[in-house]
Amino acid sequence: MNDTVKYVLEESRMPKAWYNLQADLPTPLPPVLHPGTHQPVGPDDLAPLFPMELILQEVSTEREIDIPEPVRDVYRQWRPAPLYRARRLEKLLQTPARIYYKYEGVSPAGSHKPNTAVPQAFYNQQAGVKKLVTETGAGQWGSSLAFAGALFGIDVQVFMVRVSYDQKPYRRALMETYGARCIASPSTETQSGRGILAQRPDHPGSLGIAISEAVEVAAGRDDTKYALGSVLNHVLLHQTVIGQEALLQLEMADDYPDVIVGCTGGGSNFAGIAFPFIGAQLRGGRKVDVIAVEPAACPSLTRGPYAYDFGDTAHLTPLTKMHTLGSTFTPPGFHAGGLRYHGMAPMVSHLKELGLITAVAHHQTKCFDAGVMFARAEGILPAPEANHAVKGAIDEAIRCREEGTSRAILFNLCGHGHFDMQAYIDYFGGKLQDLEYDEGELAMALAGLPSVGAPA
Ligand SMILES: *Cc1c(COP(=O)(O)O)cnc(C)c1O
């Protein structure tokens, strides 16, 4: 049998609608609350930050939401994305498991992020918005929005977490190539940034701080809106093209996953691969084991309580119920910058509470061990974030070998690591440390959770 097994969908079978899991949830999501009044927010409360189309998607319970033709036109540049059977990895592991991976590194920015950057830029352009402001961790989201902004004629300004800004100068150069302006966060350009720098001039930054800076700039100007690359329902919605394509590709393989694995930072690529399968299960289809893999240094799903919290450090965002490490928590500077967020998507958190998914946390050196093994077998060099999913999938395949069971494992290879070679250099140089988060700081951040009673 051939070792290279690739499932290519015809362009005509690219999804025409995004799949909305809210239509199939057994219990609805808890409401989003106003940061001041703690009352449920309405669409108008969010209008300063987002165009109405995206706000309506955020609260929609329609099962299918049409993908506009101009968005599909851009998607066609790299979608449908390939699904591979990892036969060489299976052989190396001597596992009876069937391992499949969906590869999202084929997009121009090198990850799944353009799946949502493109529709977000499109809906903003339709609403007459001239400028989008955002945050970025490792720079994947910033470069994706910069790419989408260039296509739709929107100026993009990106607050990049300081530690990543220093670690990953090539991502910054990519954003600038697409025409975006990239600023290290915390910065002196906003009140939130200046406040943080006054307390600690060498602050390494966090996604929570960068979000505060971006929201502050966007809220202050009429022609400017904010864009978020993960966490929100509409972002997860846009990513469901991944899982919908994978369903069709596995049909071509005459197979169905027993296990689905994804890495989780804010939860969007995980949702993208898993939600269409979870939805099928909730509508009476086959049961799947769905595993979220997160970094042990920022373990929101496995260690964070399920509670109302802010999305940002300066408390400018609404309150959402999610697994959180506290909005003031600063994770240590490990290499998977895209996974350094204090909270988890409300939808993903809700699924964990309902027992529909499970979560595990791994340290980064073990994830790089897995990623390097994968690269040597399959040729593709994963992003440090994606190494967490690779680790989860390999662990499942080894379990199959030990138990003598043959299961089908599907994981999302959410991006390539070509801009993250410093992380690999550090790994090969033995310089990668397995960072523990500071227990004292975590306790302090959790003590600061807002007290919100059950809404009436
Ligand atoms: C941003 C990013 C992540 C983390 O974000 P999610 O919303 O959890 O997907 C993971 N992997 C890559 C490659 C990313 O760019």
Q: What would the mean pLDDT of 107-112 be, rounded to a whole number?
A: 98
Q: What would the mean pLDDT of 414-422 be, rounded to a whole number?
A: 95
Q: Between residues 335 and 64, which one has the greater pLDDT? A: 64
Average pLDDT, the chain: 96
Predicted confidence (pLDDT) per residue in 29-41, tens digit: 999 999 999 999 9
Gap from CA of 212 to ligand 1 centroid (Å) = 19
Residue 1 has pLDDT above 80, yes or no: no
Which of 135, 339, 413 most suits a substitution to test ligand 1, by most atoms within 8 Å of the C-beta?
Answer: 339
Gap from CA of 115 to ligand 1 centroid (Å) = 12
**Which atom of ligand 1 lies at the shortest distance from residue 267's CA?**
8
Residue 66 has pLDDT above 90, yes or no: yes
Taking residue 159's Cβ as centre, other Cβ atoms within 10 Å add up to 33
Gap from CA of 415 to ligand 1 centroid (Å) = 8
| DSSP-based three-state secondary structure for 97 | coil
Predicted confidence (pLDDT) per residue in 49-65, tens digit: 999 999 999 999 999 99
Predicted confidence (pLDDT) per residue in 223-237, tens digit: 999 999 999 999 999
CA-closest candidate to residue 100, choices 89, 114, 111, 92: 89
Residue 430 and residue 401: Cα distance in Å, rounded?
30
Predicted confidence (pLDDT) per residue in 128-185, tens digit: 999 999 999 989 999 999 999 999 999 999 999 999 899 889 999 999 999 999 999 9
Q: What would the mean pLDDT of 254-263 be, rounded to a whole number?
A: 98
Q: Between residues 389 and 337, which one has the greater pLDDT? A: 389
Residue 117 and residue 110: Cα distance in Å, rounded?
13
Q: Does domain 4-14+67-110+234-447 fall into CATH 3.40.50.1100?
A: yes
**Which atom of ligand 1 lies at the shortest distance from residue 229's CA?**
7
Length of the chain: 456
State if pTM tops 0.75. Answer: yes
Q: What would the mean pLDDT of 285-290 be, rounded to a whole number?
A: 98
pLDDT score for 455: 46
Residue 333 has pLDDT above 80, yes or no: no
Ligand 1 interacting residues, C-beta cut-off 6 A: 111, 113, 140-141, 230, 263-270, 338-339, 383, 385-386, 414-415
CA-closest candidate to residue 350, choices 326, 325, 323: 323
pLDDT score for 453: 63
Q: What is the CA radius of gyration of the chain?
A: 20
Residue 456 has pLDDT above 90, yes or no: no
Give how far the C-alpha of residue 300 lies from the chain's centroid of Cα atoms, to the nearest Å: 13
Predicted confidence (pLDDT) per residue in 68-92, tens digit: 999 999 999 999 999 999 999 999 9
- List of residues 6+ apart from 252 with CB closer than 8 A: 7, 9
Sign of CA dihedral 187, 189, 195, 198: positive
Gap from CA of 338 to ligand 1 centroid (Å) = 5
Q: Which residue has the tokens 């999913």?
A: 389
Residue 346 and residue 367: Cα distance in Å, rounded?
26
Residue 447 and residue 69: Cα distance in Å, rounded?
47
| DSSP-based three-state secondary structure for 331 | coil
The H or E element containing residue 85 is strand 83-86
Which of 102, 104, 112 most suits a substitution to test ligand 1, by most atoms within 8 Å of the C-beta?
Answer: 112
Taking CA atoms only, the protein residue closest to ligand 1 atom 13 is 415
Gap from CA of 269 to ligand 1 centroid (Å) = 6
- List of residues 6+ apart from 365 with CB closer than 8 A: 427, 432, 433, 434
Residue 454 has pLDDT above 60, yes or no: no
**Which atom of ligand 1 lies at the shortest distance from residue 272's CA?**
9
